[in-house]
Amino acid sequence: MGTVGKGINLFDPHTQQFAHLRTEPGNPNSLSYDFVMGVYEDAEGILWLGTVGGGVNAYDRKTGIFTHYKADQDAPGSINANRVWTITEDQAGTLWMGTYGGGLNKFDRETQTFTHYTHDP
């Protein structure tokens, strides 16, 4: 479960306990931002977390490591907005991320790059 300013809460049904994961200053493997808007679990068990200010994070529960994908004006293949509201996956395994202010982003897992789709009036 994503929270407003308190990171994420992971529930273990076997132990009936919650794990609380938050941004840890000085730890580059922790959550990038504590306001988590979108949560999606892919077929491999990776949790994709859309944050409101820290881009998108991929959380590998086996390693306990967060991988961050943030907007970078100098990197054309980066996500184009750091406010990620929603995440889903299509039947081909492609991840799609809806952002606030950046439109739709398609993530290519092989190249680790994003393609941007924005409104063109």
Model pLDDT for residues 52-106, shown as the tens digit of each residue: 999 999 999 999 999 999 999 999 999 999 999 999 999 999 999 999 999 999 9
Element (H, E) at 50: strand 47-51
Q: Is the pLDDT of residue 119 over 90?
A: no
Mean pLDDT, rounded, for 110-121:
92
Q: What is the reported pLDDT for 43?
A: 87
Domain presence at residue 7 = no
Q: Is the pLDDT of residue 26 over 90?
A: yes
Mean pLDDT, rounded, for 19-38:
95
Q: Which residues pair with 89 in a beta bridge?
A: 95
- Please report, rounded to a whole number, the percentage of residues in the chain having pLDDT higher than 70: 100
Are the beta carbons of 37 and 84 closer than 8 angstroms? Answer: yes
How many structural domains compose the chain?
A: 1
d(C-alpha 119, C-alpha 2), whole Å: 28
Q: What global pTM score does this model have?
A: 0.91
CA 44 to chain centre: 15
Domain presence at residue 9 = no
Q: What is the reported pLDDT for 83?
A: 97
Q: Which domain holds residue 96?
A: 37-117
